[in-house]
A and B are shown apart, each in its own frame.
Chain A
């Protein structure tokens, strides 16, 4: 798997907003058919890194390479047109619109001619349902259903299926499992695997180590904007990864610490000063 050529690569990327350095010397790459998990606590710089990859931010210094060629993305639209799709937690779906209309938002199929082109509802519904089912969500059978009636996992899946259908090569998933229950998260993880099987490069951010371990081939742990560890599947145990994410402190120590302090504060968790 590591013999594949990377689609997207970052070399020594720094990003600062004014005097604040958010990303520090980041070098990463992701190849087709590979899932890169970006792990890190809140505020570690995951979102900024993703936004830099998606064209929202431009790096302050360093290079972005796509298919080995140095490149830069002028805007999110520019990145999208070159095959980088970002799916946010519920982003890209409109709860009060049908599945078919959601799927084709912005690129509606039409029939008819001239000024009388009409939205081809049957075709949109058929393709949308087909694509979502191919991703393994068999519960969606009616393209007229409103997206608001779907579960969080199904909405994620719809957004991912949409990105795949419209030719994404790199799929960036921003905390796709954060707000989901166990079953729904499993749904999304299955879809991530499906996308990987189809040869997409997937970048997956999470702070749930379990979810990362389930799909990841390649892991990068961010701490305060720098890569603290970069390793492949099987190199580290779950405990080691969790410890890394907690900023080098051992998770067991943290837990012990919480217990002690809750006891000494008559049952209330005190304000964190970590």
Chain B
């Protein structure tokens, strides 16, 4: 709340258009960018003699960031809308096994496997969204339940269909280069990620529906009164999240030629860390796509590229823990700065 007596009535009514320094500074992405820059510079210094900046060094963490990032952005959408999705850790293996079973074991065309995997993702997302919107159960609990249910089902069905929990799949050449190829060391997933970032930025920040996502996290009752289809939008966001995870699974299985049905619990933490380090408020209503992109890149540097530096590998978890704590504290400060920005500028 600003004190009306301290800010003057500004005579100029010119609405600021385009990019301003103040606008950049109050964006939640600026904190994520600064965090990324600090980590990048420190790692560059310590990794100068150990190939951190070489092609294999850079591609290692960018490739990793792309897979986490494809999932983290829609997880961030849900967090902006005031919800949490941790079922991603089970959707990813479910998707890889679907591709391996449908296109590998049963030798169906690769596109059939991809569509099957995306359908599995869509179905899980729908179940998540449906339960969250029809009951008062928090999405953390609902997706925790689907996390275990889907993980168990994946193991069970893998044994049932192919009698093993791990499988291999070699995609035909065109599919291999489209979903799992390498260009100058960068996996196809990096280019897919870039394309999806453009789509996600457009959806959240430019399309009229982007506002609705923020409104869900801001005040759901008011959003409903303003005529926003709250339930449909939420179910859609859960489906988007699970389908993106399934797509990351498709990219993964075609890139690495192998699939596993073990639940990926690390992925859950990695996506949430990317989102929070990316400047999204845990309480919802605030965040940017570009911030999450920087969050995923920062996480990837610390976890994957530490071997290219003189920093002890075992410290990477410590760095992430400290980073996460700083990010949460910073996010709160940034929110305060953002809401008070205009008033303090005019003092």
Which of A's residues lie within 8 Å of B, judged by CB? 76-77, 80, 86, 91-97, 101, 104-108, 110, 117-119, 122, 125-126, 129, 133, 138-139, 141-146, 148-152, 183-184
Contact = CB atoms under 8 A, between A and B. Distances in A.
A199 to B, nearest CB: 24
B339 A148 contact: yes
Nearest to B26: A146
Given A138-B9, A139-B9, A150-B2, A94 B214 contact: yes
A72 B338 CA distance: 44
Contact of B225 (A76, A144, A152): A76
Nearest to A138: B9
25 contacts: A80-B227, A86-B225, A93-B219, A94-B214, A95-B218, A96-B335, A97-B211, A97-B285, A105-B226, A105-B228, A106-B215, A106-B223, A107-B227, A119-B206, A122-B17, A129-B13, A133-B13, A139-B4, A139-B10, A141-B15, A142-B15, A144-B23, A148-B339, A149-B343, A184-B4
Nearest to A104: B211
Nearest to A100: B15
For the complex of A and B, list the 5 residue pairs with the smallest distance between their C-beta atoms, beginning with the closest.
A94-B218, A108-B208, A106-B226, A148-B339, A149-B339
B54 interface: no
B342 A142 contact: yes
A80 B210 CA distance: 23
B163 interface: no
A136 to B, nearest CB: 12
Contact of B1 (A91, A106, A117, A152): A152
Contacts of A184: 4
B52 to A, nearest CB: 37
A126 B13 CA distance: 9
B219 A119 contact: no
A119 B225 contact: no
A236 to B, nearest CB: 33
Given A77-B227, A94-B218, A95-B218, A119 B339 contact: no
A107 B226 CA distance: 8
Nearest to B10: A141
Nearest to B22: A144
Given A91-B222, A122-B17, A141-B10, A146 B339 contact: yes
B173 interface: no
A125 B15 contact: yes
Contacts of A108: 208, 211
B281 A96 contact: yes
B7 A126 contact: no
A126 B15 CA distance: 7
Given A146-B339, A149-B343, A105 B16 contact: no
Contacts of A145: 341-342
Nearest to B336: A148
A106 B228 contact: yes
Contacts of A139: 4, 7, 9-10
B12 interface: yes
B158 to A, nearest CB: 38
Given A96-B281, A144-B23, A118 B206 contact: yes
B208 A141 contact: no
B228 A183 contact: no
A202 B13 CA distance: 30
B321 interface: no
Contacts of A142: 15-16, 342
